[in-house]
Amino acid sequence: MFVEALKCLRCGREHTPAKNLYVCKRCGGKLEIRYDYDAISRRVDKRVLAKRRPGVWKYLELLPIADRKNIVTLGEGGTPLLEAKNLARELRLKHLLLKDETRNPTASFKDRPMSVGISKAREFGARTVVSASSGNAAIALSAYAAKAGIECYTFVPAGAPLSKLAQLLMHGARVVRAKARGEGDPTYKLMREAWKKFGWHPIPSAGAFNPYQPEGSKTMSYEICEQLGWQVPDWVVVPTGAGTLLSYNARGYSDFEQLGLIGGVPRLAAIQSEGCAPLTRGFKEKTLSHEIPTWPNPKTVAGGLVDPYPWDADTAIPAIELSNGTAEAVSDAEILEAEKLLAKHEGVFAEPSGAAGLAGLRKLLDAGAIDRSDVVVVEVTGGGLKDVAVAMRLVKEPQVIEPELGRLKKLIWAVR
């Protein structure tokens, strides 16, 4: 393992890697993993990486696992970077690419961090893990916990879609639906209490309570660089909730830059829903990350982006600023239109949260924030089967006819 230390982002204390170390021992602050890049550079270069099989664990030296035998994998990562020519014409954009994370084992990018999170929990000897999630992170955790033979508790919002609950229950997770009461996220409240009381290993979506699993999200950036021939795009557009994915996407580009594998980093655009946009508001109003208020009464069709408190704003907002990027919020109508466009023009069926990046791109193009000559990568973070009920609201149910040619002709004529 090439981890040098874990540094607290609140008090600055550095910790030697140790079993069950999840937050700062001094102040309880968020930890960030520090790697020995000089040592990694002696083991990893472009030729070495080119010979390895695609996937998250292709980048083992840049992940916090000490022993290969602890790796728990379902074949996550190695997702395609699709050239979206039809959408590019529609948007009058010269170069548009889609990082299609719907191809992961449980159909979302969360498989990347959860593979790393469960692998680290196994390394720590965990018997029970616990998550707070709007759905996708919990689904991924439950799948990898099942693979590892580790008991899994998941706290999800009371209104989580049945399609997501079905996946959790099929994986054998013990699912608790948490009812909102007052401000804050009830799922995180329950997770923290269970971690404190029962000693369960916390593996939520955000990095504030576990520094290991978000490292898996860096591998999206590594893959994009390789897929573009060791170049970086002008922009990467990221659907954003707590700010975790964007933070670790930025970390991935920084890693490769420090290793001399790329010559710069892309500009980052964080896209949130107007119904829950604390990080975007904090960025635009230049609010200190620890002073961003909890979003009251979040409501959006993009349930995967509902994080009333942006747990990782302290790393996400600086990442946006350092890249000379931006943050934007989009309406439910814009998100749903983007979901239709992705499916209709590129054959990619995304859930609303996964389509939010395209909605944000359209808005930023219209505002002139992104130039139409730029090379843009939009991350499609989750598949449409996650929320079939929403998808069915966007289409008409097909007619039922008798198996007769005459009836078929009438139907065809009516459609035309």
Confidence tier at 1 by pLDDT (50, 70, 90): confident
Question: Is the CA virtual torsion 21, 24, 26, 27 positive or negative?
Answer: negative
Average pLDDT (227-231) is 97
Is residue 307 included in any domain, yes or no?
yes
Summarize pLDDT for 139-174 with one digit per residue, the tens.
999 999 999 999 999 998 888 888 889 999 999 999
Average pLDDT (271-290) is 97
Summarize pLDDT for 324-343 with one digit per residue, the tens.
999 999 999 999 999 999 99
Is residue 121 included in any domain, yes or no?
no
Domain count, the chain: 1
Cβ(351)–Cβ(387) below 8 Å: yes
Confidence tier at 416 by pLDDT (50, 70, 90): low
Is residue 319 included in any domain, yes or no?
yes
Average pLDDT (69-88) is 98
Paired tokens of 313? 């704003």
Q: What element of type H or E holds 12?
A: none
Summarize pLDDT for 19-75 with one digit per residue, the tens.
999 999 999 999 999 999 999 999 999 999 999 999 999 999 999 999 999 999 999
Paired tokens of 289? 């990350």
Cβ(299)–Cβ(263) below 8 Å: no
Is residue 160 included in any domain, yes or no?
no
132/31: higher pLDDT: 31
**Which of 60-74, 154-168, 210-224, 284-298 is the least confident region?**
154-168
Q: Supply angle C-alpha 243, 133, 171, rounded to 5.
A: 135
The rounded distance, in Å, linking the Cα atoms of 171 and 258 is 39
pLDDT at residue 266 in the model: 98
pLDDT at residue 348 in the model: 98
205/357: higher pLDDT: 357
Is residue 310 included in any domain, yes or no?
yes
Cβ(319)–Cβ(247) below 8 Å: yes
pLDDT at residue 72 in the model: 98
Closest CA to 307 of 130, 210, 186, 201: 186
Is residue 163 included in any domain, yes or no?
no
Structural domain for 252, as ranges: 81-106+213-393
pLDDT at residue 185 in the model: 82
Runs of H (alpha helix) within 64-161: 85-91, 111-123, 136-148
DSSP string, 29-77: PPEEEEE-HHHHHTT--HHHHHHSPSSGGGGGGGSS-S-GGG---SS--
Is residue 414 included in any domain, yes or no?
no
Is residue 111 included in any domain, yes or no?
no
Average pLDDT (92-111) is 97
416/372: higher pLDDT: 372
Cβ(269)–Cβ(359) below 8 Å: no
Runs of H (alpha helix) within 124-212: 136-148, 162-170, 186-198
pLDDT at residue 133 in the model: 82
CATH number of the domain enclosing 286: 3.40.50.1100
pLDDT at residue 182 in the model: 73
DSSP lists the bridge partners of residue 155 as: 132, 176
pLDDT averaged over every residue in the chain: 95
Average pLDDT (119-147) is 94
Query: What global pTM score does this model have?
Result: 0.95
